[in-house]
Amino acid sequence: MGQKTILAPCMGVGKIVANVTRRAAYEIHAQCPEDVELLSIPALMAGDAHERELIQNNPTIIIDGCALRCTAHIFRQFGVDAVAKIEVNQVMKEKKIGPGKTRKELEATGKRLSDFTAEKVLMALNDEGLEARFVSPEELLLPPPDDLCGCPEQQFKVQRSTFNVDETAPNFEPSLTHHVNSVTVLPCQGIKRTGGRVTQRAAYEVVEDRFLGKSQVLCISALAAGCQEDVDMLEKFPTVAINGCAKRCASIAAEYHGIPAVAHVELPDVVPGFDCEAHCYEPDLTENELAISTQLAAATALAVEKLMGTEIEWSQRKINLHGLIHEPAKINALTGYRDAGGGILVKLAKEQIARMEAEAAIKAPVADTKIWNEQKAQHEVAAATMVCENPGLKTVMTGLFRPKKKE
Ligand code: SF4
């Protein structure tokens, strides 16, 4: 594959904004399929070599749905820098629009929000000035400092080639029986592979339509980022994994975090002959996918029904986060990303950060006018000097395509 720009939506399943990220990525792909590819986070987390190669060898733009910033956490785990980040929560503030009320299918307002988000991604791709705001390729390619991941063993560097369960995690083996009155449903929630697209819809049908109040849907992206709500789902309730293809990313995700699913529903077994691994980039499920998702939901509901009210060998216990620290409020600062204006976060060069801070300091009120004037003069000199001393910021945007203008 020639170099493309990779779009990495958080593609979660819990929040509606997660579906906005997924749809925005599909919209961009529809405009320039030759130039972009979509990253599947569940497959990446399951050790898929192709997905890992995508982020190692191509510039990536992250699209996170909310301020929990799951994709940013996952990229930090893998030791990979994105060239830019967009956050849907910021787009919502800017455009004064919400995501709507349903996650099974986005309402018109959710679709409009995804249009705005897609526009922001296109702006990042088209912004000629953006390249000057990035650090040099050499700086960007440096490995992160040892303590950057909050991950002492550094298990998650890009070199990680296979999924690897830490069997020293506390309470790894189940030892007690458990009366099942609620289950967690974990779809593989993939993007682009048709099997993954189908599992997400099936999970919503099971959780919202058939076992409302007795089940919850778990998000692989949020789990990988250590979001407490999703951690609780895996720790407190037995999990039913729904796998969309033979890669079995949902089952791997549960096992990887130390609490394997108690039941596994496999789409290739439920609908033999369905081409689960075929790629589909339609923003909405096709008629055929909808029909398949209904069959998969029925099979999953059967698996849940079988578990409900029974005693199983399972116990609540802590999951293994492999050293990850969930710190959404700090992650942009920790990884060096800032919004230099326009709602697109980029990794700024040190000189640029200093200049922004100098400009902010000029604006800050100082009680003593004499001190204020002296500081202002110093800051202006500093800012001007930085501009002059920084003639040659190199670009990492050489690999980013410039989408053709719409006809
Ligand atoms: S919790 Fe994570 S996966 Fe869900 S919308 Fe927020 S950033 Fe996306």
pLDDT value for 66: 96
Within 6 Å (CB) of ligand 1, which residues are found? Answer: 10, 12, 14-15, 17-18, 64-66, 68-70, 219, 221-222, 225, 227
CB 202 within 8 A of CB 194: no
Distance CA 333, CA 347 (A): 10
pLDDT value for 355: 67
Residue nearest (by alpha carbon) to ligand 1 atom 8: 65
pLDDT value for 90: 94
pLDDT value for 364: 60
pLDDT value for 126: 81
pLDDT value for 165: 42
Q: How far is the CA of 285 from the centre of ligand 1 (A)?
A: 21
CB 174 within 8 A of CB 314: yes
Q: How far is the CA of 198 from the centre of ligand 1 (A)?
A: 19
pLDDT tens digits, one per residue of 97-145:
999 999 999 999 999 999 999 999 998 888 765 555 554 445 544 554 4
Distance CA 398, CA 243 (A): 38
Question: Which of 7, 39, 66 maximizes ligand 1 atoms within 8 Å of its Cβ, making it the mutation to test the pocket?
Answer: 66
pLDDT value for 161: 30
Beta bridge partners of 37: 6
Q: How far is the CA of 80 from the centre of ligand 1 (A)?
A: 19
Residue nearest (by alpha carbon) to ligand 1 atom 3: 12
Instruction: Output the six-digit token pair for 7.
Output: 């779009």
**Which regions in the chain score pLDDT beneath 70?**
1-2, 128-175, 348-356, 362-407
Q: How far is the CA of 12 from the centre of ligand 1 (A)?
A: 5
